[in-house]
Amino acid sequence: MTLHWKRRVYSFSESFKNSYPLKPMKNVTSVSSNLWKRLVSAVKQQDWVKIEQCLQDMKKGEDEEKESVTNEACSTEQRHYKELTMELKLGTVVQVQLGTELKDGFPVPVVQLLSVNQCFEICLEHTRNPIDCFSKTVCNASKPFYESYNEYQNIWSQLCQIDTAYNALEENNSIILEGVRITWNRDETNLQGFFYLTKTQKKQWSLEFDLSNCFLCIRLRDQKLKNSKSDPKHLDSSEILDLQGSLPFTWVAHAVTTKPKKPKNGDNQNKMTFQITKISVSYIPPKVFEQGPNFTIEVIPKKIPVREHVIENLKRANNLVKNVAYENINLDNVDESLNLPHLNKSQQKAVEEAVKKPFTVIQGPPGTGKTVVGIHIVYWYFKKNQDFLASSKSFKANPDQKPPKRPAILYCGPSNKSVDIVAEQLLKLKGVLKPLRIYCDQMEMREFPYTGSDLKLCRKSLRDEKPKEELK
């Protein structure tokens, strides 16, 4: 059995030569300047024979360009990606590094790192348990009602951190940086640090994600435990020393990037600051804080952290966001001509709760009508907006008062497919509602690519996501 890995690996100590392929956009044909002049001249003269010849030459050049672009794209992928393999046979020795995890209150040995070769290892710790590595354990459960938005923030910010950590690892879209020099604050109780990444490196390596919204797995290879009686910290690590013996090990720490100060104008460096969230071994080798060592950092970009930003900015939100309407709505007055799917008793109760309370969770197995409930919720919020506009007509009588902004409804979903299903149903109400389907940046990049931006697309997006033509 042969295991294969394909990773984007970049080194600070090696030069990176990058040439982007001239990949044409969809429905766009690149034309040379001479051919374009010939075509314009033929059109002015209305010489249809020359126009036909120019179009044939354009078609011929397009076919030749496609072949060259394919070859250049392959070479570009080889420059960005490294493929590694490990062949497993009967009796093959696999080198791993052990760590510990608590199970039923007792520490048990677990595999922390899988060593593929001397220059590449897989951290199984954050792959297996991203929540424990990149977020704090949540002790407070959500509540049906909150005394203030501060209480809501405290509870849901932690829940959003868990969701973000899980989704980031699920993407499997990490980037490995070799030879990184880190500057530490040396406070082991609250360990923080930073390193620099030039704008040239960011552009050449196609790092098109937000550097202040990432998870980091920081590793330092070939470390040895020193059992010095003069150093009490080393005495605390005697148990580890008995387990590891004299074999070198890799020091591993996990961190979350933080927002640095704004760089000065003309500064060619991006400062990546981070906060350590978990160190598997309490012993920190002295070499970690020296200036010389080159660290290996696995950068795991977060998905677009919309939920975290919403929770964080809640204190600056308007009253409409802070106080979702509690009014009763009679759901029996649905316009029959709209042909909305009928609701059973449990579905009707779910819609009532959703339009009355500030937050409602509606759950159920597949086929229980959650999508139908979502369509009815959209309809009733649309009715609420109509009532709001009718009550605001008084603003028109007073020219000194600014009229309120026209309200809208934003329907979000965990995947493009789930939103497409609702969008298809809402299109049937086009005479009443005015639905607009908005796709994510990844989807736009796939439909309308531009030179050098393929690497922004995660493999899951390329494999699964494709917009429906009828919803565009």
Predicted confidence at residue 293, as pLDDT, reads 78
Q: Residue 104: left if φ>0, alpha if ψ -120 to 50, beta else—which one?
A: left
Predicted confidence at residue 452, as pLDDT, reads 57
Report which of residues 422 and 449 the model is more confident about.
Answer: 422
Arch. (CATH architecture) of 2-14+93-225+247-309: Beta Barrel (2.40)
- Band the pLDDT of 360: cuts 50, 70, 90: confident
- Band the pLDDT of 14: cuts 50, 70, 90: confident
Spatial distance between the Cα atoms of 210 and 303, rounded to a whole number of angstroms? 10
Predicted confidence at residue 19, as pLDDT, reads 46
Report which of residues 278 and 102 the model is more confident about.
Answer: 278
Spatial distance between the Cα atoms of 457 and 185, rounded to a whole number of angstroms? 35
Alpha helices in 313-401 (DSSP H): 319-322, 345-356, 370-391, 394-397
Chain position carrying tokens 């070799």: 178
Count of C-beta atoms within a 10 Å radius of residue 450 = 10
**Model confidence pLDDT, tens digit, residues 256-307:** 998 877 766 666 788 899 999 998 777 888 888 887 778 999 999 887 655 6
Q: How is residue 13 written in tokens?
A: 């100590």
Q: Is 368 exposed, middle or buried (0-12, 13-18, 19+ CB in 10 A)?
A: middle
Beta bridge partners of 122: 114
Residue 400's H or E segment, with its range, is: none
Q: How is residue 326 written in tokens?
A: 């509690």
Mean pLDDT rounded to a whole number for the chain: 76
Predicted confidence at residue 232, as pLDDT, reads 47
Predicted confidence at residue 255, as pLDDT, reads 93
Average pLDDT over residues 231-257: 65
The answer to whether residue 451 scores a pLDDT higher than 80 is no
**Model confidence pLDDT, tens digit, residues 198-233:** 888 888 888 878 888 899 999 998 888 765 544 444
Q: Where are the domains of the chain?
A: 2-14+93-225+247-309, 332-471
Predicted confidence at residue 256, as pLDDT, reads 92
The answer to whether residue 91 scores a pLDDT higher than 80 is yes
